[in-house]
Structure 1
Amino acid sequence: MVIVLNQHISPDQKRFLRDFLQGRGYQIREITGEEETIFGAVGPSTLDVREVEVLPGVQRVVPLTKPFKLVSREFKPEDTVVSVGPVRIGAGRVSLIAGPCAVESEDQMMRAGEAAADAGAVMLRGGAFKPRTSPYAFQGLGERGLEILKKAGESLGLPVVSEVVSAEHLTMMRGYVDCFQIGARNMQNFELLKSVGGMGMPVILKRGAAARIEEWLMAAEYLMAHGTDQIILCERGIRTFETYTRNSLDISSIPVVKKLSHLPVIVDPSHATGIRDKVLPVALGAVAAGADGLIVEIHPNPEEALSDGAQSLYPEQFEKLSGDIQALCPVLGKELNRRPKVVVASPGAAGASGGTAPGSSENSVPRVAFQGERGAYSEMALGRFFGFDSAQPVPCKHFEDVFQAVLKGEVQRGLLPIENALTGSIHENYDLLLQYRDIKIIGETKIRIQHSLIGVPGSTLEDIKRVYSHPQGLLQCERYLNTWPSWARIPHYDTAGSVSMIMKEGSKQSAAIANSLAAAIYGAQVLKEGIETNPVNYTRFVIIARNEVPDSPSPTKASIVFSTPDRPGALLEAMKVLSDRKVNLQKIESRPIHGKPWTYMFYLDLSRPQDPGVFQDALTELGNHTEDLRVLGRYVQA
């Protein structure tokens, strides 16, 4: 059962409640959320919920109906984000885990690991103990393999995962891996599950070849009941009558499990197909179906692999897969997870001097400013880039307030919309980037704008008489609103702010148009999703920081700004500098210079060449043909 505690429950009341439940055979998990604290009580005992509801400090009791308790959404409605070292799995990010099926040698592991890291993997996999169908097949290098795997992971800055096949290996393996993997053959090895759960470490739990979804979740329940809540479910295909692939990927299990459970779900397309060329399309399908990540086998020389060479990708195939997923993510409203970056704060913040930023602590997540109220699309973009649990959102009223907060060191980062696919550039922010010379761009992200009709709890479409939203929100949903001609359309200053307003008003006759995140934040009810007229609606956001923050590692994009002399062909001369050096121009935008009528600054987005010397030569030469040339930022293109 789920026991919701009163907001002001005393420590003595909480202690009494815990003792009362444990005395009747229940295990207790306490979960503290933003709005309420709950006790999750799980056990074999049967207890009349009315006996619990009358106890001091109890607000209400919700019975759990699923056979799996701790892993169910009834127990925890919010998504669990699993932390494997600095990597976060879940929360709107697609995480790539890659490496060879088996660790064969130090050279092989390093080459595979470097290919995985370069292409965007955030974790490194490699088998040291290999349960094989044939007793004569390669069984792995054992502890020596784990030593090699750990060395590769540490050199590349990637957490590592390896399969555990025996409880006897757990203590030894704990010193080498950041995450255990329970293979399909051991999904119902309940003694192993108990022992692994008791380690309290992150676990990837693969679905058995003939396991029903409920059996899979019950296996996860064993892990959670015995001590770990850091569980990643992995769909890897089930055995059917089909023989053209190694297994049959049950892609429908992804949305089913995500509705039943709060745990993140990843997919293993390598074992699902067993055929190298089928891995990429199946992987993309899994991501489109809602998977939080992929675990993929790659090998520098698959034809020489000692295990599963036929399904192992070449490094260049994995690189293509990563690029395809990056292109797909904005359509799904997700972000491709990247290797954790060290957050360098502004002056006075934690950095080389060892100081602490104002409003933060040494171990706190970075504070990131955005314009709007909680639940705004900017906050959604913030969560996609940094991770919803890896940054502290700081709402600001105006765009310039974001710049000021970054400049003063009140926050470590700022996030600003810069361009919309339908309405074009946000000119105010271009002008502010020019004005604030101590600020630069260090990253970018894109999200798809998906509008929902949101009402107060218990309301229906038939109750609605008026709809509030930002004027752009109302305009972008005009086709849907036209199907309800009796509704009054009332402009509001902010989409998320309109949700906050109707919740304060409390009328079932009022609705708002915003994103579903705003509904969750304010406790509102989504009445209709996807009501935007044009689904191809994206907004690009830039992340800003003080000049003292280093450029992104291996930047792929640069933004510059300059003006040109007042003479014929001046802009053409500047463009020729870029063309001669094969520097690709992605965008050019002109803005009037304040105080200088009929003169303009040109903003350019450029693909940064792999050779940094080429780009630097281009900048040097541009300086001979332009005026007030500045680099606004070098960063990784989203």
Structure 2
Amino acid sequence: MIVVLSKGVSQHDKEMVRIYLKDRGFAVRDQVLGDDEVIGGTGKGVVDLRELGLLPGVERVAATSKPYELASRESKPGNTIVTVGTGTSQVKIGGSRISVIAGPCAVESRDQIMETAARVRESGAVMLRGGAYKPRSSPYAFQGLGMQGLEFMKAAGEANGMPIVTEVVSPEFAGQMKDLTDMFQIGARNMQNFELLKKVGSLGKPVLLKRGPSATIEEWLLSAEYLLAAGTRDVVLCERGIRTFETYTRNTLDISAISVVKGLSHLPVIVDPSHAVGIRAMISSAALAAVAAGADGLTVEVHPRPDEALSDGPQSLYPEQFERLMRDIEALAPVVGKELLRTPRPSAGNVLKVSGKSGASATEAVSPSNLPIAFSGESGAYAEQALMRAFGEEAPRLQAASFRGVFDAVLEGAAGFGVVPVENSLAGSVHENYDLFLRYPDIAMVGELKLRIVHCLIADEKASIENISIVRSHPQGFAQCRDFLDKYPAWQLEACNDTATAVASIAREGATKVAAIAGEAAAKAHGLRVLKAGIETNPLNYTRFVIISRRNGSNLAPIPPSLGSDKPNKASLVFSVPDESGALFSCLKIISDRGLNLSKLESRPIQGQPWEYQFYVDVTIPSTEDTFAGAVEELRTRTENFYFLGEYRASL
């Protein structure tokens, strides 16, 4: 049984709850679970749950049917997000992003771990793994460098802005390792080393708990319970393959365990494909399968020279293979409704250069903002989902009534960033927002991400498709669901500012003959029911969102820390050309001659100037900055009304 206490509960009320449970035969323990302070009651006691729930200081009571009470989803319906590290290198595991941990099986030397850390960081890993102590089957095998190896690893992590995770093999070492590691790993061999679990849990640091090679899921979760009961609130479960009769791979990856555990527990689940298959050529496919199955992250073994590795060389990826895997994960993530987590590098700072109309640039730093992030619509909007992908579920948010309201909030300083859609794969560009960039020259694009759009028909609990007469949504929502809507020609379509507002209006009115087209998140946010899911005409329906920020006096715009600090590789421009033969061709020739890849070219009528057009252009930025800057300056001389909307890191 779990008793969740009210925020700010007094010590007196807390003690009365303890006494109440003890008097009725329960063993009592205090615990912090996420943001909640709880009292756990175990044993064969008997209690009236309604009476217990009425005690002062009690927010709610969860009667768990599982032996792993603190780890069970019954005690915490929402998903736990585990935070590892501090400052700008902080990593969150769980939620809507995929966190990738990478590094060698063992720390072999300072140079080896430094080189590996730099290589995996460059490819997009956000945490560094490596063994300082190695439990090996043979007493003659390499056992690790011990504390010296951990010191090397800590230095490599700090140099690259990466928290580190390393295995602890005995209770005696845990205290020594506490200040050097950001996250303890409990290896598969030690999953049921209960004294080690109790010691590590009592230290309060995040823990990565690997599943034992012969452990059932319940045994795995009971080991997590040991850690939670001992005091830590941050546990990440790691599926690394189990021992079966099959011999063609090192272990058998239990891919079904991901969804099973997510149904039973609120704890995040990651996968170790390296130990799961043990064969380098199979690791990438196993990793992608884990992502597709819903894993919150991966831990992958990478070595700069696997043939020279002192342990597990055959299952370690070459850095080039890891880089390809990260590109594949980035492409796959939006399909499963997630985003690959990126964090800023310490050397790059949190600054993005944005060329102004004059083409000037500067090098001074802009401090990251703690202001909320603005989006258009109400809770559950697709823009809010994109916001959470970029900034995390816990990011403060500011709801705006319109896209223009988002621009106003960022311009006036009420929001540090904004999230707006600019293009849909089926319905095309969102011209309203491109027009807003022209009206707000002090606003720049600083980031990009793509969100898969799955539309649902949403209505009141009492409604049915047969009784619907009115459907509300954003015009783009109607356009993207045209085939479905054509089946119901009698329905009246009512346009709204955004899809989530359409859902919210039904909830406010209590309407039973009105439906909305929006995402499932909007239905959950407003307590409505999904009548039919997946009604978009084409399942390959993606919306491209950009993150906007205000340019300061030096033409700099801050990068959202969660998007990382990789060098920008894409820019967006808008311009018109003189009314003369070959004017557009000469602009395209500049782009071609300078080696810029043109990824978008779209013409649109200029408002108030009949039969005159402007062009939306997206280009890749070459590795040589001078080449790109020269192309921009030359384009300014050949175009009219040139606007540089921003440069940013492209999202696959």
- TM-score of the pair, normalised by structure 2: 0.88
CA shift at 1:355, angstroms? Answer: 9.1
Aligned residues of 1:26 and 1:41 also touching (Cα < 8 A): yes
Aligned residues of 2:301 and 2:315 also touching (Cα < 8 A): yes
The match for 1:554 is: 567
Q: Compared with structure 1, are the counterparts of its residues 16 and 528 closer, same or farther at alpha carbon in structure 2 (3 Å cutoff)?
A: farther
| Mapped partners of 1:604, 1:596: distance in 2 | 20
Equivalent residue in structure 1 for 2:29, among 23, 27, 30: 27
Q: Compared with structure 1, are the counterparts of its residues 397 and 598 closer, same or farther at alpha carbon in structure 2 (3 Å cutoff)?
A: same
CA shift at 1:40, angstroms? Answer: 5.5
| Mapped partners of 1:454, 1:39: distance in 2 | 36
> Is the partner of 1:234 in helix, strand or coil?
strand
Percent of pairs identical after alignment? 53
Deviation string for 1:219-261 (max 9, x for gaps)? 1111111111211111110011111110110001111111111
CA shift at 1:15, angstroms? Answer: 5.7
The match for 2:76 is: 76
Aligned residue runs from structure 1 range 110-509, under 5 A: 110-340=114-344, 365-389=370-394, 391-456=395-460, 459=462, 461=464, 465=468, 468-470=471-473, 471-474=475-478, 476-477=480-481, 492-506=496-510
Aligned residues of 1:417 and 1:542 also touching (Cα < 8 A): yes
> Is the partner of 2:451 in helix, strand or coil?
strand
Aligned residues of 2:596 and 2:619 also touching (Cα < 8 A): yes
| Mapped partners of 2:225, 2:464: distance in 1 | 39
> Is the partner of 1:121 in helix, strand or coil?
coil
Aligned residues of 1:555 and 1:608 also touching (Cα < 8 A): yes
Deviation string for 1:592-621 (max 9, x for gaps)? 334444333322111111222221222233
Deviation string for 1:58-113 (max 9, x for gaps)? 57644211221111111111111110121111111011110011111111111111
Given residue 542 of structure 2, which amino acid in structure 1 is its aligned partner? Y
Deviation string for 1:151-174 (max 9, x for gaps)? 000010111110110111111111
Aligned residues of 2:411 and 2:443 also touching (Cα < 8 A): yes
Please state if 1:567 is matched with 2:580: yes
Q: Compared with structure 1, are the counterparts of its residues 542 and 258 closer, same or farther at alpha carbon in structure 2 (3 Å cutoff)?
A: same
Given residue 46 of structure 1, which amino acid in structure 2 is its aligned partner? G
The match for 1:91 is: 95
The match for 1:637 is: 650
The match for 2:359 is: none
The match for 1:44 is: 43
> Is the partner of 1:375 in helix, strand or coil?
coil
CA shift at 1:514, angstroms? Answer: 2.2
| Mapped partners of 1:243, 1:466: distance in 2 | 60
| Mapped partners of 1:32, 1:112: distance in 2 | 33
Aligned residues of 1:370 and 1:414 also touching (Cα < 8 A): yes
CA shift at 1:426, angstroms? Answer: 0.4
Moved more, 621-630 or 195-204: 621-630
Q: Compared with structure 1, are the counterparts of its residues 222 and 489 closer, same or farther at alpha carbon in structure 2 (3 Å cutoff)?
A: farther
Bigger relative contact order (CA 8 A; separation at least 6): 2
Given residue 66 of structure 1, which amino acid in structure 2 is its aligned partner? K
Q: Compared with structure 1, are the counterparts of its residues 171 and 310 closer, same or farther at alpha carbon in structure 2 (3 Å cutoff)?
A: same
CA shift at 1:456, angstroms? Answer: 4.7
Q: Compared with structure 1, are the counterparts of its residues 489 and 576 closer, same or farther at alpha carbon in structure 2 (3 Å cutoff)?
A: closer
| Mapped partners of 2:570, 2:486: distance in 1 | 42
Given residue 389 of structure 2, which amino acid in structure 1 is its aligned partner? R
Q: Compared with structure 1, are the counterparts of its residues 296 and 467 closer, same or farther at alpha carbon in structure 2 (3 Å cutoff)?
A: farther
| Mapped partners of 2:288, 2:188: distance in 1 | 22
Q: Compared with structure 1, are the counterparts of its residues 176 and 30 closer, same or farther at alpha carbon in structure 2 (3 Å cutoff)?
A: closer
Aligned residues of 2:472 and 2:514 also touching (Cα < 8 A): no
The match for 1:65 is: 65
Aligned residues of 2:333 and 2:340 also touching (Cα < 8 A): yes
Aligned residues of 2:18 and 2:28 also touching (Cα < 8 A): no
CA shift at 1:399, angstroms? Answer: 1.0
> Is the partner of 1:338 in helix, strand or coil?
coil
Q: Compared with structure 1, are the counterparts of its residues 42 and 511 closer, same or farther at alpha carbon in structure 2 (3 Å cutoff)?
A: farther
Let me know the Cα RMSD of the aligned residues.
Answer: 3.0
CA shift at 1:528, angstroms? Answer: 4.4
Aligned residues of 2:350 and 2:558 also touching (Cα < 8 A): no
Given residue 224 of structure 2, which amino acid in structure 1 is its aligned partner? A
Q: Compared with structure 1, are the counterparts of its residues 6 and 385 closer, same or farther at alpha carbon in structure 2 (3 Å cutoff)?
A: closer
| Mapped partners of 2:488, 2:150: distance in 1 | 63
> Is the partner of 2:637 in helix, strand or coil?
coil
Aligned residues of 1:42 and 1:70 also touching (Cα < 8 A): no
CA shift at 1:374, angstroms? Answer: 1.4
CA shift at 1:491, angstroms? Answer: 5.1
The match for 2:357 is: none
Given residue 96 of structure 2, which amino acid in structure 1 is its aligned partner? G
Count of aligned positions: 622
Gaps in structure 2 of 5+ consecutive residues = 353-362, 560-564
> Is the partner of 1:384 in helix, strand or coil?
helix
CA shift at 1:269, angstroms? Answer: 0.6
